[in-house]
Amino acid sequence: MVLTYVALVGAGVMSGVYVAFSVMVMPSLDRRPPTEAVGFMQETNRFAVRPGFQLAFSGTAVVSLVAALLAVLEGGDGRWWTVAAALAYLASVVLTGTFHVPRNNALDRVDASTVPAAGNAWASYARPWTQANHLRALMCVASVVAYAVALRVG
Torsion, Cα 124 26 100 34, to 10 degrees, reads 40
Check residue 1 and give its pLDDT. 85
Check residue 35 and give its pLDDT. 98
- Residue range 43-98, pLDDT digits in tens: 999 999 999 999 999 999 999 999 999 999 999 999 999 999 999 999 999 999 99
- Residue range 108-132, pLDDT digits in tens: 999 999 999 999 999 999 999 999 9
Distance, CA of 93 to CA of 143 (rounded, Å): 12
Distance, CA of 101 to CA of 83 (rounded, Å): 25
Check residue 67 and give its pLDDT. 97
> In this model, does residue 104 exceed pLDDT 90?
yes
Check residue 154 and give its pLDDT. 82
Check residue 14 and give its pLDDT. 98
Phi-psi region of 20 (alpha: psi -120 to 50; beta: other; left: phi over 0): alpha
Q: How many CB atoms lie within 10 A of CB 154?
A: 10
Q: How many residues does the chain have?
A: 154
Check residue 26 and give its pLDDT. 98
**Position 114: which residue type?**
T
- Residue range 8-49, pLDDT digits in tens: 999 999 999 999 999 999 999 999 999 999 999 999 999 999
pTM (two decimals)? 0.95
